[in-house]
Chain A
Amino acid sequence: MCEKKDKTTMVQTKAHIAQNDKVGPGLYHLVCDCAVIAQRVLPGQFVHLRIPDDALLMRRPLSVSFAEEHLLHIFYKVVGKGSKLMSTLHKGDSVDVVGPLGNSFVLDYSCECAILLGGGIGAAPLIGLAKSTAQKKSAFVTLIIGAQDAQHHIFQPVIGELSDAVILATDDGSLGVRGLVSDVFFEMWKTRRLKTKKCAVYACGPRGMLAALHAFFEKESPDAVFWMSLEEKMACGVGACQGCVVPTVDGYRRVCVEGPIFDSRHILWGELNNNV
């Protein structure tokens, strides 16, 4: 399920960087001291962070992995100039942040189980979603995190008490189960007979992974609910500019407001742009 958040709660504020550590090849763990956003952010929501550079104007939308008291935990991958500059920020530096933005993941407790599928850096928001339920109903959630190899598995230090519920997978078998997240899930679908259970699936990762999962559900279990987080280039982040739209059965919808969490059945996959 996903939930709309009251827009009046978003703020623009300065946040001190508590940590910006390299945790894998081109992968960083950013921690911002930002109580006003940390106290209200929900799993799956994002913040819009200003890159401290005059030539790179646009804010970067970054999924919040989880919040801990006054701290916002964010994981990002260096892919271009903006993220490269972000990686040069140091502890104590100040950044301008707008958030929390977007809708959020909401676990459906009417289901028998919840499967959370995170591909690469996309696993970040699912950590927060899994943590949100850890104390209450730990057996309810299974989180499968995939990465290309052991070096790219960066979430173990923050998984903590969730570890029993987590399955790690690598493309090359260097850590955990060998295979793609989607393949591990398909196997589990068979062995745990998930088709006969009422289970909800939540995913975030590369478009190819989400498309494979959508195709699987369409064929195997058209009634299954599959919530996923999408990314697009953004300008305003608040629903004003109509820049970050994705094609849905109801027309174009803004990733920043109607998303980033979408029901996969609402997306027009054939028209979805893959150059994100």
Chain B
Amino acid sequence: MNVQVTIGSLILPNPLTVASGTFGYGVEYGGLINAGTLGAIVTKTITPVPRTGNRPSRLWETPSGLLNSIGLENVGLERFITEKIPPLESYPCPVIVSIMGETEEGFARLTERLDGCGRVDGLELNLSCPNIAYHGGGLIAQDPEAVGAVVAAVRKKTKKAVIAKLTPEVSDISAIGRAAEAAGADAIALINTIKAMAIDVETRRPRLGNVTGGLSGPAIRPVAVRLVWELFQAVRIPIIGMGGIATCEDALEFIIAGASAIAVGTYIFVDPQAVTAIPDDICDYMKKHRMKDIRELVGSVQVQ
């Protein structure tokens, strides 16, 4: 049975990855997660210089969901290279590093430096964090031209796998996805969190220090499945589907909608042990349905 997933030059042993921002720098969960069960990890987004992140409170729980506004707190590129990469040297699965450069030049600079780091197997471009205001307040991932320009700038600097992480908050995901594909992205990660808000009615103040945040968790899953399905019809490069995946059944839903790989995010906080069972459970499903290759499943939804 083959459950390997190919993303550009990168081969994932199985389709299970983790969503950037939920898995820290890869070591925080210690023995709670057996990294040998993962297809790849994606580290927390790093930026050219360190960021202190947004004002607390940064978390608020909503029904089957989580609202967060971390604000990309991270150690910055140089400390990431000197402090965070060495502990990943013996990591049993591919390491994908999430980066956010604000501008084309910023992304290019991050790529140039990380391209020289052997342990970095791929780059995920965070074009869609809802907690960061870009030029004019929108997201890069809301503008096909900006997406194309950033992906092209990164593509020039590396042969490693390049993944564009997109936002659900667009009227036409196909146009954005095609722009990333045309500029040379090896895959698209979809979806980032949905911008959202919660209010304390007693104090009439927002629950989050940054007023708004990004919503994740099972509450957003059907939105994510729909977007993956729409994007699958528009691009030929693999899609890494995510948004509220908690179980093998959820993962299969994304794969059948068109995702070649999937990521678990918020649910890692909830049940790290259960997450690592997903690849084996996918194999059991394939056995039951007499499938030999996971590619038979990708995008196999029967809409007629």
A242 within 8 A of B: yes
Q: Are A239 and B64 in contact (CB under 8 A)?
A: no
Size band of the B side of the interface?
35 or more
The answer on a CB contact under 8 Å between B217 and A245 is: no
Is A273 part of the binding interface, using a Cβ–Cβ cutoff of 8 Å?
yes
Q: Name which residue of chain A comes closest to B207, CB basis.
A: A275
User: Which residues 26-71 of B have a CB within 8 angstroms of A?
Assistant: 28-32, 44, 52-53, 55-61, 63-66, 68, 70
State which of B89-97, B112-120, B149-157, B270-278 sits at the interface with chain A: B270-278
Q: Which of B60, B209, B268 is close to A236, meaning CB atoms less than 8 Å apart?
A: B268
A-B interface pairs (CB < 8 A), number: 114
Interchain CB contact under 8 A, A251 and B52: yes
Does A69 make an interface contact (CB < 8 A)?
no
Decide yes or no: A241 and B21 within 8 Å by CB, A8-B31, A56-B61 being known contacts. Answer: yes
In the complex, the chain A residue whose C-beta lies closest to that of B74 is A242
CB pair B28 A275 closer than 8 Å: no
Let me know if A243 and B52 touch, CB within 8 A: no
Kindly state the separation between the CA atoms of A50 and B65 in the bound complex, as whole angstroms: 15
Query: Are the CB atoms of A12 and B32 closer together than 8 Å?
Result: yes
Q: Is the CB of A243 within 8 A of B70?
A: yes
**CB pair A57 B218 closer than 8 Å:** yes
Indicate if the CB atoms of B56 and A239 lie closer than 8 Å. no
**Which residue on A lies nearest to B70, using beta carbons?**
A242
B32 pairs with A241, CB closer than 8 A: no
B64 touches A55 (CB 8 A): yes
Of the residues B30, B68, B73, contact of A235 by C-beta under 8 Å: B68
B22 at the interface (CB under 8 A from A): yes
Q: For window 198-220 of chain A, which residues contact chain B by CB distance below 8 Å?
A: none
Q: Are B30 and A7 in contact (CB under 8 A)?
A: yes
Chain A binding surface SS class: loop
B147-167 contact mask (Cβ, 8 Å, vs A): 1 or 0: 000000000000000000000
Would A57 and B28 count as touching, CB distance under 8 A? Answer: no
Instruction: Give the distance in Å from the alpha carbon of A10 to the alpha carbon of B29 in the complex.
Output: 9
Alpha-carbon gap, A276 to B203, bound state (A): 13
In the complex, which residues of chain B have a beta carbon less than 8 angstroms from the beta carbon of A271?
A: 55
Q: Which residue of A96, A252, A273 is within 8 Å of B73 (Cβ)?
A: A252
B118 to chain A minimum Cβ distance, whole angstroms, is 24
A37-66 contacts to B, CB under 8 A, are 50, 54-59
CB nearest to A272 among chain B residues: B56
When the two chains form their complex, are residues A238 and B58 in contact, meaning their CB atoms are under 8 A apart? no
Give A188 to B29 CA distance when docked, in angstroms. Answer: 44
Chain A contact residue count (CB 8 A cutoff): 37
Across the interface, name the chain B residue whose C-beta is closest to A257: B28
Q: Is the CB of A233 within 8 A of B57?
A: yes
Q: Would you call B134 an interface residue if the criterion is a C-beta within 8 Å of the partner chain's C-beta atoms?
A: no
Question: Given A11-B32, A56-B61, A58-B270, are A239 and B203 neighbors across the interface (CB < 8 Å)?
Answer: no
Contact between chains at B22 and A236 (CB < 8 Å): yes
Are the C-beta atoms of A239 and B59 separated by less than 8 Å? no
Contact A245 B53 (CB under 8 A): yes
Q: In this assembly, does B299 line the interface, its C-beta being within 8 Å of a C-beta of chain A?
A: no
The answer to whether A241 touches B271 (Cβ under 8 A) is no
In chain A, what residue has the closest Cβ to B29?
Answer: A238
Query: Shortest Cβ distance from A262 into chain B, in angstroms?
Result: 14
Asked if A57 and B217 sit within 8 Å, CB to CB, the answer is yes
In B195-222, which residues have CB < 8 Å from any A CB? 200, 203, 205, 209, 217-218
Choice from B29, B60, B270 contacting A240 with Cβ under 8 Å = B29
A241-B68 in contact (CB<8A): yes
Q: Is A246 an interface residue when CB atoms closer than 8 A count as contact? A: yes
Q: Is A179 an interface residue (CB 8 A)?
A: no
Task: With CB as the reference atom, state the residue of chain B lying closest to A237.
Answer: B269
**CB proximity of A14 to chain B, nearest CB, Å:** 10
Given A243-B58, A245-B58, check contact A55 B73 (CB 8 Å). Answer: no
Among A7, A57, A242, point to the contact of B58 (Cβ < 8 A). Answer: A242
Q: Given the complex of chains A and B, what is the CA–CA distance between A55 and B217 in angstroms?
A: 10
Give the distance in Å from the alpha carbon of A239 to the alpha carbon of B270 in the complex.
Answer: 14
Any B CB within 8 A of the CB of A247: yes
Cross-chain contact A58 with B269 (CB below 8 angstroms): yes
Interface hits, A245-259 → B, CB 8 Å: 245-247, 251-252, 257
B30–A238 CB distance below 8 A: yes
Q: Determine the distance from Cα of A262 to Cα of B107 in the docked complex, in whole angstroms.
A: 37
Chain B: minimal CB distance from A43 (Å):
21
Expressed in whole angstroms, the Cα–Cα distance for A96 and B270 within the complex equals 10
Identify the interface centre among B22, B65, B73, B205: most chain A CB within 10 Å of its CB: B73
B interface vs A, CB < 8 Å? 21-24, 28-32, 44, 52-53, 55-61, 63-66, 68, 70, 73, 200, 203, 205, 209, 217-218, 266-273
Q: Which 5 A-B pairs have the closest CB atoms?
A: A240-B24, A240-B28, A243-B59, A233-B59, A7-B30
Task: List 24 A–B pairs whose Cβ atoms lie within 8 Å, in order of A's numbering.
Answer: A7-B28, A7-B30, A8-B30, A10-B31, A12-B271, A57-B64, A57-B66, A57-B266, A57-B269, A58-B61, A232-B57, A239-B24, A239-B28, A240-B24, A240-B29, A241-B22, A242-B70, A244-B58, A245-B58, A247-B56, A252-B53, A252-B56, A252-B73, A275-B200
With A236-B269, A240-B22, A252-B73 given, can you name 12 additional A-B contacts, CB distance below 8 Å? A57-B217, A232-B57, A235-B59, A235-B66, A235-B68, A236-B24, A241-B59, A241-B70, A241-B269, A242-B73, A251-B52, A273-B209
